[in-house]
Structure 1
């Protein structure tokens, strides 16, 4: 049995998020380049409980640097608080599990992480 495991529930941790500035429960967040979803609002100590894997229903915008539809299975990126297909400006966030029309923003299931 491995003795170097620090957290049994390592997919859910209290951390300081780098984006957004003040996370709220349910929002997509980043801890550096690590994507997750806030389970709590940011507390007075600056930490937020974040889920780092699984599937969450999130708003996804059908765009890259221009409007472009999202298909199930597309890689998604966190780009200034928006989840979309913009790999130029965004940080890799996860995978779309449903489509979004070009230019539209829809709440769809998103596989968090890689």
Structure 2
């Protein structure tokens, strides 16, 4: 094992919070998309979970396998072109703001 290794799988990593965040918030920090583990104030270290699936509120009609986007206001949307890629829907939902099981993309390549 390399002595300089920090994370074995890098599925739960820590970053300075870009703004005040609450546990369960979806967030993108650079090229990472995940869900906040614990509350954090801006610039505090926050752990972002990049793996798993979460019940999150998504705006719009959702189909299984559909890309879910994170808007600039921190809300999730099923509308194409509305925000940056965040994850994929694992359950469907009707129009409006609905609970949807979402798997975050984790490490998002550009």
1:101 aligns with 2:99: no
For structure 1, the residue ranges without an aligned partner over 5 or more in a row are 63-68
Aligned length: 104
- 1:49-108 deviation per Cα after TM superposition (whole angstroms, max 9, x unaligned): 11012111111111xxxxxx2101101110121111234241111101111212x11112
Per the alignment, in what secondary structure is the counterpart of residue 108 of structure 1?
strand
- 1:18-41 deviation per Cα after TM superposition (whole angstroms, max 9, x unaligned): 3xx211111111112321100001
Q: 1:48 to 1:71 in 2, by over 3 A?
A: same
Q: TM-score if structure 2 supplies the norm length? A: 0.81
1:92 aligns with 2:59: no
The residue correspondences of 1:39-78 to structure 2 (distance < 5 A) are 39-42=37-40, 46-62=44-60, 69-78=61-70
2:15 is aligned to: 15
Distance 2:88 2:59 in 1: 13
Distance 2:79 2:30 in 1: 17
Q: 1:86 to 1:44 in 2, by over 3 A?
A: closer
Runs of 4+ in 1 over 6 A off after TM superposition: none
Distance 1:5 1:48 in 2: 20
Per the alignment, in what secondary structure is the counterpart of residue 27 of structure 2?
strand
